[in-house]
Amino acid sequence: MKIDKKIAIIFAVIAVLAFTGGFFLGGSGDDRPPSTRLRPGGFAGQALRPPPSAPSATAKVWTCSMHPQIRNPGPGQCPICGMDLIPVTEDASDEMGPRELKLSATARRLAQIEVVPAERRAVSHDVRMVGTIEYDETRLATITAWVGGRLDRLYVDYTGISVRPGDHMVYMYSPDIFEAQEELIQAKKAIAEMAGSHIGLVLEIAEANLAAIRDKLRLWGLTQDQIRQIEDRGTPEDHIEINAPIGGIVVHMNVVEGMYVKTGTPIYRIADLSQVWVKLDAYESDLSWLHYGQEVEFASEAHPGETFTGRIAFIAPILTRKTRTVKVRVTVPNPDGKLKPGMFVKAIVRAQLAKGGKVIAPDLAGKWISPMHPEIVKDEPGPCDICGMPLVRAKDLGYQPAESSEPPLVIPASAPLLTGKRAVVYVQSATDESRFEGREVTLGPRAGDYYIVEAGLEAGENVVVNGNFKIDSALQILARPSMMSPPAEGEKAGGSGKDGPRQEETR
């Protein structure tokens, strides 16, 4: 039994040695190709990969796939991440510039490349502002005491009440007016007694005295009808009524009933709300788009869905330091009284632009406008209907003549890649739709969904509006100049300006 056990152990050891020797000598019994066999000691499913191909003998530039700005004349490791450098292969048969890329039709579809032509068209820039409704300062009136006296009764005894021109407001006792009425009555009787007198000089003196007394009463606030009533009545009254000089809303009251006032004491302030002011805040970056006489549209939360219009009547010459804004005043008719002082409004000015970003006003072409009242617009020169000042030409107020202005060259706002002071667009070749060229352009102001192009493009050239970032990324991977690469010395940058593109401030 012991001999049989020894023999069994010897045979088992021989079998293990034979199997192990066959495995290391290549006889694993695995019929799979060598490239798919398991590595000795490897994980399950980890296959042997074929050895990497030999480096290209013709490669002159080596770069890192993670940091394409690394460009070495030979192989090695990336100094930033340590990865092996890869050769940059170039197709010698295709002579392309450093900022050009060629994409097949399939690649263009996968990248969703879209192009549109640069074109000349009329565009507008929207200037948005906020503000409040205010009183029209030219339509405010103050009722004062033209003569000293006691306010025995106030017909208008609270603010906010609406009055019409000529409405009685104060019932006042005045000794001075009582004395002046007595003088008026005596002067009238004296002239009546001298009707048959032959002394003309005395009659002329009496008539002059009567006229002087009438003027004094008129200057003290009595109307012609009140003076005529005193003469017809023949007896003086110790009280007079003070009437409203204009219609409007009583916005302030400075006295109380029974108060004694002196000459010049303010009693009421009345505001005519048939026309109001809208005071708006404009950022200093938007001042170049705003001009006197421009039409403004605005809306109020009190009247949703309703739009009001007016014209810019004044742009403040001083900037508010704390808010960095300038006050813009708009004159607005308010016949229905819907606009009330203190209301909050949101306004917009649509400035139409010509070549060079200059503002045009087609509705003012060839017109004459009042320098004080922008609502007065005429076809011919003449005086203003309100203030009498001579009208001026609309072009003298800073507008570009619409009839002689050329539409600006514009591209969609999604076309340029903005990098600080530079702007890059990708232009499709006119002869080969698979080729795209990166080109620097000089941009003017942004007008809505478009940018005005000052230099670097011609009308009709196709620019990429979708997929331009993918083209730029492909150039970066190929270690070619991209949007982040400034033009090399001696390389012509298509129309790049000294200050670069003017970009719209985001608020």
Tell me the average confidence (pLDDT) per consecutive run of 10 residues in the chain, 507 residues long.
56 54 44 43 39 52 80 88 82 66 88 91 88 92 88 91 89 88 87 71 82 87 85 85 86 91 91 93 89 90 92 91 93 91 94 75 76 82 85 74 71 90 90 90 86 90 92 82 69 42 40
Tokens 């606009």 identify what position?
339
How many residues are there in the chain?
507
Helix axes 200-219, 224-233, angle to 10 degrees: 130
pLDDT value of residue 252: 92
Cα 146-151-154 angle, rounded to 5 deg: 105
What is the rounded distance in angstroms from the CA atom of residue 421 to the CA atom of residue 459? 23
Specify the 3-state DSSP secondary structure of 186. Answer: helix
Asked if residues 87 and 59 have their Cβ atoms less than 8 Å apart, the reply is yes
Q: Which two tokens stand for residue 505?
A: 């401030």
> How many Å separate Cα 211 from the centre of its chain?
61
User: Which helix (H) or strand (E) covers residue 189, if one does?
Assistant: helix 175-193
Asked if residues 280 and 328 have their Cβ atoms less than 8 Å apart, the reply is yes
Q: Under CATH, domain 125-136+273-404 is a member of which superfamily? A: Efflux pump adaptor protein, beta barrel domain (2.40.30.170)
What is the rounded distance in angstroms from the CA atom of residue 357 to the CA atom of residue 444? 7
Q: Which two tokens stand for residue 89?
A: 């292969």
Q: Which amino acid is at 97?
A: G
Residues 6+ apart with CB under 8 A from 255: 151, 154, 261, 265, 267
- For the domain made up of 100-120+408-477, the CATH class stated in words is mainly beta
The CATH number of 138-271 is 2.40.50.100
- Checking phi first, is residue 185 left (phi over 0); if not, alpha (psi -120 to 50) or beta? alpha
Task: Tell which residue, 502, 498, 412, 497, has the closest CA to residue 455.
Answer: 497
pLDDT value of residue 326: 94
Asked if residues 479 and 473 have their Cβ atoms less than 8 Å apart, the reply is no
Helix axes 224-233, 175-193, angle to 10 degrees: 60
pLDDT value of residue 416: 93
pLDDT value of residue 92: 43
What is the rounded distance in angstroms from the CA atom of residue 30 to the CA atom of residue 351? 80
Residue spans of alpha helices (H) in 391-467: none
Specify the 3-state DSSP secondary structure of 328. Answer: strand
Tokens 């819907």 identify what position?
338
Sign of the four-CA dihedral 194, 197, 202, 208: positive
Task: Give the Å distances, CA to CA, from 291 to 101, 219, 225, 248, 329.
Answer: 46, 43, 48, 31, 11
Q: What are phi and psi of 23, to 5 degrees?
A: -65, -45
pLDDT value of residue 55: 47
What is the rounded distance in angstroms from the CA atom of residue 92 to the CA atom of residue 87? 15
Cα 477-481-486 angle, rounded to 5 deg: 140
pLDDT value of residue 45: 38
pLDDT value of residue 327: 95
What is the rounded distance in angstroms from the CA atom of residue 361 to the CA atom of residue 292? 11
Q: Which two tokens stand for residue 470?
A: 């993918």
Tokens 């941009």 identify what position?
443
Asked if residues 305 and 325 have their Cβ atoms less than 8 Å apart, the reply is no
- From the number of C-beta atoms within 10 Å of its C-beta (0-12, 13-18, 19+), residue 425 rates as buried
What is the rounded distance in angstroms from the CA atom of residue 484 to the CA atom of residue 15? 68
Q: Which two tokens stand for residue 145?
A: 């005491």
Asked if residues 353 and 388 have their Cβ atoms less than 8 Å apart, the reply is no
Asked if residues 349 and 296 have their Cβ atoms less than 8 Å apart, the reply is yes
Residue 84: DSSP 8-state: B
Asked if residues 183 and 213 have their Cβ atoms less than 8 Å apart, the reply is yes
Asked if residues 200 and 175 have their Cβ atoms less than 8 Å apart, the reply is no
Q: Which two tokens stand for residue 320?
A: 């508010």
